[in-house]
Amino acid sequence: MDGSEVKGIFDTKANSGYDDEIVRRYHFPPQYRTVAAQLIGDWIVYREPQRNGGRRAYIAVARVLRIEADSRRAGYSYAVVSDYLPFDRPVPFVNKGAYAEAALREIGNPSRVGAYLQGKSIRIISEADFAAIVRTGLGETLAPPNAIRLELDRLELDEETVEYLTAPPVEQARRIEQILLNRKIRDANFRRHVCEAYDNRCAVTRLRIVNGGGKAEVQAAHIWSVASGGPDVVQNGLALSSTAHWLFDRHLISLTDDYGLLISHNKVPAELRGLFSKQLERIHLPDDPRLWPHRSYVARHREAFSSA
């Protein structure tokens, strides 16, 4: 890592009044413009404070592309981000009395931490703290026992990815930025989130098959493809069997806004149409509605389906 690089924290919370869509942009007032500008081209960690029901934890990572002025609100700006990646599990803000950020660890009295963070919703953190938070956040994806389940079996990987996965923790931390951009590792993180949300059950056929090694038969399908700019988030995913995945990627099946199944009847074989017939009104969805496919992503896919 270049010593000139900096990393940052973006505090984010639900119902904040800001025009955030943290997968793509982060909205902030004028007092943070100088700090945010330092982070252009580099990585940030999103943190949820405890306010507004937040988890008081670090939840995801993203890279700042640029800063854009908010044309509708004088002085306000957007940090436009890319490469958003949610953590496997939220990383605690403080663990066993130790804060994840050096500046907070230096405060002798923990009761003063809240006051210190006032007015610091965007702040700089060290490379070491960033790497430690991210590596902890991706701990399940990087853990060797999960390799087969997450399709990170070294027999199917390129040398570079194997090197990242088998490196000791200190080396993984040193190379954390390369790990964050590695497609195989990002796909594994995405697969874990999607398969877990759908209980390893195909959204279209409703079949749930898990082998003895814990690997589910379903695959994690992107609704809005990564190649076209789609994010690696569960709301942009579906758990699909290989056949359904093949059809979905080729826009031969799609979804309505109410999550009913659309089928290209002149292109999908009749025997498959019969298999899918019970899902026409609604596919299998996660128990948590917050994890259901985002309608804007579904609309993109349906547009391609209509013209296929």
- The CATH number covering residue 91 comes to 3.10.590.10
Residues 35, 160, single domain; the answer is: no
Q: How confident is the model at residue 108 (pLDDT cuts 50, 70, 90)?
A: confident
Look at residue 139 and tell me if it is in a domain: no
On whether the CB atoms of residues 141 and 150 are closer than 8 A, the answer is: yes
- Considering the chain, what percentage of its residues have pLDDT values greater than 70? 97
Same domain, 42 and 177: no
What's the sign of the alpha-carbon dihedral 24, 292, 57, 165?
Answer: negative
82 is a domain residue = yes
pLDDT digits 0-9 by tens, 206-231: 989 888 777 889 999 999 999 999 99
For residue 304, is pLDDT > 50?
yes
Using only C-alpha atoms, the chain has a radius of gyration, in whole angstroms, of: 21
What residue numbers bound the domain in which 19 lies? 7-125
Residue 119 has pLDDT above 60, yes or no: yes
Task: Write down which residue in 64, 97, 125 finishes a domain.
Answer: 125
pLDDT higher at 16 or 32: 32
pLDDT tens-digit profile of 132-189?
Answer: 999 999 999 999 999 999 999 888 799 999 999 999 999 999 999 999 999 999 999 9
- Boundary (domain end) residue, out of 125, 156, 187: 125
98 and 149 part of one domain: no
In a domain, 134, yes or no: no
Does residue 153 sit in the same domain as residue 281?
Answer: yes
Specify whether 98 is located in the same domain as 205: no
Tell whether 158 is covered by a domain.
yes
Q: CA–CA separation, 81 vs 7, rounded Å?
A: 14
State whether 179 and 253 are in the same domain.
yes
Based on the domain organization, do 168 and 199 belong to the same domain?
Answer: yes
Q: Same domain for 149 and 291? A: yes
**Into how many domains does the chain fold?**
2
Q: 3-state SS of the chain: helix, strand, coil percent to 5?
A: 40, 25, 40
Quick check: is 2 in a domain? no
Check residue 53 and give its pLDDT: 80
Residue 67 pLDDT > 50: yes
Is 185 inside any structural domain?
A: yes
Choosing from 93, 125, 157, the residue where a domain stops is: 125
